[in-house]
Amino acid sequence: MSVALGLTRPLVVRTTPVDDPVDLLSRLPEAAPYAWIRRGEGLVAWGEAARAEIPPGPGRFGWARDWLAATLGEAHVDDGVGVPGSGPVAFGSFTFDEDSPGSVLVVPRIVLARRAGRAWLTTVGGQPLDLVTAPRDPGRIRYGDGSLTAPEWEHAVARAVARIRSGRLEKAVLARDLTAVAERAIDVRVLLARLTGRYPDCYAFSCDGLVGATPELLVRRTGETVESLVLAGTTPRGADETDDRRRGAALRASGKDRHEHACAVDSVRAALSPLCSELNVPAEPELLVLPNVQHLASPVTGRLSAGASVLDVVAAMHPTAAVGGTPTRTALEVIRELEGMDRGGYAGPVGWIDARGDGEWGIALRCARVDGSRARLFAGCGIMGDSVPAAELAEAQAKFRVMQYALEG
């Protein structure tokens, strides 16, 4: 079933330049904020002018594209800025599994944006700005097992390795969840502030209760230009600079991690090639160093054929091998068999799109689903034929630390 709100009459949208807000998060009210921020730039938003709960199934991206075209296409727009992200914007989150409910698109009432020395405010329906209160710390955090205990998850990894060694597939990404309960209701603005402060090179996001800081840009569309950042192959940061360099060098030399990365790059190449007149894929990955882990990374760029919106690209790319596995269909079967949970929006596409079809979408990694004083944290690992369950568990624990830091400070 789908639900659309605020569509009894066309949206009235106005975008005007404003003075640089410097800190976007400082302008957010507490209630259900939306955000997409990297290095202090991006968009924050709040309120709902229109909302669509997207029906599950293989046609969900097409349904979302059609709903968005109808909703934004009929809007009365006064856009005094005219850049990607100005005018009407929708934030969205899609579940990892196409058959799972919970995918949404929301057109906020108010969007405040900052990019390349410019700032602007978009309002829908001339709504007044909401009262901003002081952020509230969630207090003490208690953690508990999610769907599987640590030993149970290690057993699932071992079973996945056995299936890979049997020749059934090359790679499967297995995820874990962890529950957290806070003393007080969790203020999403606190999480976003901590994430943007500690992980400035990641994309901090908030959409419909899904909050995190992903290092992985699934796709950015700016006119005909499309960009993607492929991440696969991970090692924790070292205890000191020497250990850090040693771990980075070992990651670059690791046959397991290089093969895992190659699978992810190949899946992105296969998805983008039919949509692009030009596509540039680096021959060798680079090293992306984050505060908690290091990744093998490959930035991919291309030129889109006429008419493709960012949602068309998202539809073609999801799920990549970096979050699903290789081959895709078999990997998804193994995930459903072994993970013991529904990922919801974890490892699904999250981001924003404007009326021109421009936008930025990431893969919802290093994230949590927040509901009142409770949060469900997620982490995943790429399992290959030579994966060691204990090492994969340690990698997942390193990835959990991103959201644990956001909760605890």
Residues 287, 244: Cα–Cα separation, whole Å: 12
Active site (annotated) includes residue 399: no
Q: Which of 388, 147, 157, 159 is nearest to 256 (CA)?
A: 388
The DSSP secondary structure of 79-99, one letter per residue, reads: ESS-STT-SSEEEEE--SSTT
How many Cβ atoms from other residues are within 10 Å of residue 24's Cβ? 22
Identify the burial level of 43 via C-beta atoms within 10 angstroms of its C-beta, where 0-12 means exposed, 13-18 middle and 19 or more buried. Answer: buried
Helix (H, G, I), strand (E, B) or coil at 155: helix
Q: Which of 76, 74, 71, 108 is nearest to 91 (CA)?
A: 108
Residues 298, 227: Cα–Cα separation, whole Å: 11
Q: Residues near 167 by Cβ (< 8 Å), separated by ≥ 6?
A: none
Active site (annotated) includes residue 256: no
The catalytically annotated residue of 171, 260, 392, 395 is 171
Q: Alpha carbon of 246 to those of 159, 235, 236, 240, 251: distances in Å?
A: 31, 11, 11, 10, 9
Helix (H, G, I), strand (E, B) or coil at 179: strand
Contact at 8 Å (CB) between 254 and 295? Answer: no
Helix (H, G, I), strand (E, B) or coil at 320: coil
In the beta sheet, which residues pair with residue 50? 107
Helix (H) or strand (E) holding 218: strand 217-222
The catalytically annotated residue of 170, 216, 360, 392 is 216
Instruction: Give the residue numbers marked as catalytic.
Output: 171, 216
